[in-house]
Amino acid sequence: MAWSIRYQLPPMINIFRKIRKQLANENQFQRYFRYAFGEVALIMIGIFMALQLQNWNEKRKQDNAFKVILEQLYNATIYDVDKFKNQADFMTYQIERMDFILKYPDSIPIAKLPYALYNVGFDNFKSYQSDAFFYVDDLHSDYANLEQNELVKQITGYLNIIKMTPANYYDIDQDMFSNFLISEGIAYPEMNREDLNQGWLTDDPHYYDDSVLEKLQANLKTDRYQSLLKTYRSQKILYKRGAQVKSNEGTSILELIKDYYPGVRVIYENVGIIGTALQGYDDVGGRSTPMRRTDFDKGIWETELALKDGTVKFRCNDSWLRNWGGTYGEVQFPEGSATPDGDNIPVKAGRYHIKLNLSNFTYEFTRLGNE
């Protein structure tokens, strides 16, 4: 439209000039000034329309750029929310285990005591950093757009909340219990050297001396141990509350983004499956086996594979920055909830159609025939 205005004005100006010349020659000055004013008005209207078109184009570009970054923030926040839910679930599990240890200390087999205690003191969330911080600096709103400004304000508030870990927010020492056990001469459990994803080795009867186990069993009933467990339990409750607050705030942000941009998509790239049921995890050189994205909008990935007895997890870009396993303490097969940084999923040998839904975060293994 701007091109049209630019190249049609000169012929029209020439016409006005001829009219002006004719009117001037005929001494019709009143009509001359009327046509001169019309010429100026037409030029001004053309300039105004060109400026409006330019403003419209700039606004459209800004809005598109805003939505692109908003979509990235949406996907980062989806992962945040599931991560924080996982934290809260893990804290619930640990609190329940502490309740059991406090009430029934004699019911735990003596050989399992160190693992039970270190389990309630374990924290694998301290290093988590949301990807939302990477994108937010590029989220530029139109200052005249009140809806965009309010959305940016809400997102900024959410990021301020999740910037601090629950431990820092509530002044919690997450390593307190583990440090205490080490100071008592109870070594940290040995890790599985062949498969780090399997966690601790709990079947070595010689890792802890009998004298250490007997002393631990006796101490577990003392006021010192009981008091420490109760204190740590109270801190875990606060830690859980912090994770719940973050999850709730993230859910609110997802709803606000969806209201502003109903077409926002869930996007994950290069999703694959890895584990001992295939070639092993990457600590022994295993690589992710690619899956096919069969539904872009819903984030559904599928494949058909022959699996061995073992475990698997899902991840993006052959990296552990984005990965999903089973829900801690209740991993299910052949279907269940895909939890960020969750447990390894145990599978039975066979050929399966595997489906991972990254909209509702579920996985499903459907056995094919009698293979």
Domain 271-367 has CATH 2.60.40.3620: yes
pLDDT digits (tens, 9 = 90+) for 67-110: 999 999 999 999 899 889 888 988 898 999 999 999 998 899 99
Q: 162: which 2 tokens?
A: 């999740």
Residue type, 31: R
Residue 27 has pLDDT above 60, yes or no: no
Look at 35-44, 116-125, 312-321 and tell me which has the smallest mean pLDDT.
Answer: 35-44
Stretch 51-74: mean pLDDT, rounded?
82
Contact present, 326 and 342 (Cβ < 8 Å)? yes
- Whole-number mean pLDDT of the chain? 84
Q: Check residue 96 and give left, alpha or beta (phi > 0: left; psi -120 to 50: alpha).
A: alpha
Stretch 1-22: mean pLDDT, rounded?
52
Print burial letters for 11-21: b (CB count within 10 Å at least 16), e (below 16): eeeeebeebbe
pLDDT digits (tens, 9 = 90+) for 318-351: 998 889 999 876 778 999 999 888 889 999 999 9
CB contact set of 154 (below 8 Å; sequence gap of 6+)? 252, 253, 256
Residue 260 has pLDDT above 90, yes or no: yes
Stretch 141-158: mean pLDDT, rounded?
92
For the chain, give the percent of residues with pLDDT over 90. 47
Whole-Å CA distances, 287 to 53, 279, 299, 309: 52, 7, 22, 18
Query: In the prediction, which pLDDT does 5 show?
Result: 42
In the chain, where the domains are located: 61-260, 271-367
pLDDT higher at 39 or 35: 39
